[in-house]
Structure 1
Amino acid sequence: MKYRTIGSMRVSSLGLGCMGMSEYYGSQSEEESISTLHHAVHLGVNLFDTADQYGLGANEELVGRALAPYRKELYLATKFGYVRSEKGEFIEINGRPDYVKKACDASLKRLGTDYIDLYYLHRVDPRVPIEETVGAMKELVEEGKVRYIGLSEASPETIRRAGRIHPIAALQSEYSLWSREAEEHVLPACRELGISFVPYSPLGRGFLTGKMTSTDQLDADDYRRRTPRFQGDNLAVNIRLVQKLTDIAREMNMTAPQLALAWVLANGDDLIPIPGTKKKHYLEENLAALDITLPEEVKAQLDEMFPIGTAAGERYPHHMMTLLDE
């Protein structure tokens, strides 16, 4: 395994996003997910990413239970801020200090641990000054419940303001060949401030694998069916785009997801992607990207082929886009 750093944590250069094991990406098998989690540990992965809203808490319980035997060897990252009803409907983003404490205690219980290695604010609450939210997170650090603080999908201004209250160890935002907007302002701000950048969806929610040609391939409850990039004319444009990636990967004797991940990794040692999967063979395929040294001319070719804004359609439905870059 190769390693990078978040704070003083020596984390695997690829972490594992666990969301799909409980929700959003169609059907799940707990047995298969646990097997994949254990296999990840055995292959050297030590950074596991979850959130309190994934599966309405079920994902934290699954991750905590599966990884309990290895807890001292691993780094657990989770998030708070999304508030949903018992039926799963979105209610609000909550960054109020009293809720921060309540959410953390609930996550600790579900994870079956007495500390969280990296605790993210999942989305910024525009109604609450970031200083107040991070102030409460700072108290969690002082109490020993949290080791490091992170933000997700925050603007450079918010990141700077938050860092005046307590050091921010990591910023988690979407970043991939078809979602490069972070390069404009967010990633430079993180580098200026010494904050690690954790790309989620580095495979474009599975689209950059090149395996998807129609939403008919997705389960009826798969949330990608409601995502603009997977709909209508947008889908047709994006399929043609990803075919170019697949062609280059084939020429290099690798798979499209391996090339897509190698591109992310080549953009800086401060990037720690967390591709998600429920299956061991995809986990192995993803980890093989760590052994790829991307030639400069290929990276330049991909940079030119996938400029900022190249993907057709927004990356979220409108109501979720409004939660970004606060």
Structure 2
Amino acid sequence: MKKRKVGKSDLYVSELGLGCMSLSTEPKKAQEIIETALEEGINYFDTADLYDFGQNEQIVGQSLKHVRDKVIIATKVGNRWGEEMDGWHWDPSKRYIKEAVKNSLTRLGTDYIDLYQLHGGTMEDPIDETIEAFEELKAEGFIRYYGISSIRPNVIREYAKKSSIVSVMMQYSMLDRRPDEQAIPLLQENNINIVTRGPLAKGLLSNKMLEKASEQGFLDYSNQELNSILPLLREKFADSRTTTEIALQFNLAQPVVSSVVAGASKVEQIRENAKAVRANPLSENEISLIQSITKANKYEQHRL
């Protein structure tokens, strides 16, 4: 599988990454999915300390222990579990980040994290202090690089201006083109890459398509619009590509995208996604066709 560089780092990640949130908490099942990902050439694995009270990190770390020097492990910080473990609150403080990284390292069973990401962010955060924490962790060798996971243009702009982030994880798909207007141009200008999540739009852009549609619709699409647009997308590409293929290739058509992160709860999903990523890139005509059928969504909040 092809690899792409992440921003100004020396990290080269597979074009398809494995989002580990949906992994089973049963180690044997999770191991099978991760082993399949490795077989398909995936080297980028994305977890977070929030998932399954940290158990997800433990499973990912244990499953990748035998190939640690060959993979890129990304995890996240900022959502802090309460003492009763019945909920979490946002804590981007320097003190908490420097405490949390050590717990993540222990759970992952490694002495460094390749990409440490702030799991959110607001303009009310002590941003300078947060950046200081990540810079110190980098200097101390606990992390190789850092980034943020955010869809807020105003927050992304602050980190692009003030920090040395190499990546931004954000939601992006044919049905969620919000990054096109502001985020993508800004990140291209600053040599910061995107790691996309939600490329299949909660399954709407998988081969199951309308089976995943709900009465609530999706973002600014009504259920009625989805019932019109999704079959049209399938029809236009029926002779040449699967829906999953055009969805993942749409993300990869953006040079600023380093990796498309997709979750998988079954081995078959890994195989299907890997096959889609290995397909031929979309042509300019195909991209124009997709753009003519879907909406050029825009961020209505967190712009300034």
- Structure-1-length-normalised TM-score: 0.83
Match of 2:101 among 88, 92, 104: 104
Q: 1:147 to 1:111 in 2, by over 3 A?
A: same
C-alpha contact 2:32 2:267 (8 A) present in aligned 1: yes
The one-letter amino acid paired with 1:202 is: P
Q: Among residues 198, 201, 205, which one is paired with 1:204 in the alignment?
A: 201
The DSSP-based 3-state class of the residue aligned with 2:146 is strand
Q: The residue matched to 1:173 in structure 2 has which SS?
A: strand
Supply the AA of the counterpart residue of 1:69. Answer: H
Q: Deviations over 1:168-214 (max 9, x none)?
A: 10011100001110111111111010001111111112221141545
1:273 is paired with a residue whose SS is strand
Q: Distance in 1 between matches of 2:282 and 2:84?
A: 45
Change (3 A) 1:55 1:235: farther
Q: Contact between 1:81 and 1:95, CA under 8 Å: does it hold in 2?
A: yes
Match of 1:158 in 2: 155
* 2:196 and 2:257 in contact (8 A); partners too: no
Mapped contact 1:213–1:239 kept (Cα < 8 A):
yes
Distance 1:194 1:128, change over 3 A: same
Cα RMSD between the aligned structures? 2.7
- Contact kept? 2:192, 2:256, Cα under 8 Å: no
* Residue type at the aligned position of 1:267: Q
Q: Which runs of 5+ in 2 are unaligned?
A: none
Once the two structures are superposed, what CA deviation does each residue of 1:255-284 show, in whole Å capped at 9, x if it has no partner?
A: 211111111111225442111112222111
1:292 corresponds, among 259, 270, 280, to: 280
Of residues 52, 59, 63, the one that matches 2:56 is 59
Q: Which residue of 1 aligns with 2:18?
A: 16
- Per-residue deviation, 1:67: 0.7
Aligned to 2:168: 171
Aligned residue identity for 1:149: Y
CA distance in 2, matches of 1:29, 1:246: 35
Distance between the aligned counterparts of 1:162 and 1:228, measured in 2? 33
Farther off after superposition, 99-108 or 286-295 = 286-295
Partner of 2:260: 273
- Identify if the C-alpha distance between structure 1 residues 98 and 17 changes in structure 2 by more than 3 Å, giving closer, same or farther: same
Task: State the number of aligned residues.
Answer: 300
Match of 2:72, as an amino acid? Y
Alignment partner of 2:297 out of 309, 312, 315:
309
* 8 A contact 2:122–2:155 mirrored in 1: no
Q: 1:32-75 CA deviation, whole Å, 9 max, x = no partner?
A: 22111011112211111111111121111111111111100000
Query: Displacement, 1:244?
Result: 2.1
2:4 paired residue number: 4
CA distance in structure 2 between the partners assigned to 1:73 and 1:36 by the alignment? 17
Provide the secondary structure at the position in 2 that maps to 1:209: coil
Counting aligned pairs with the same residue, the percent is 32
TM-score of the pair, normalised by structure 2: 0.89
Offset of residue 98 of structure 1: 0.4
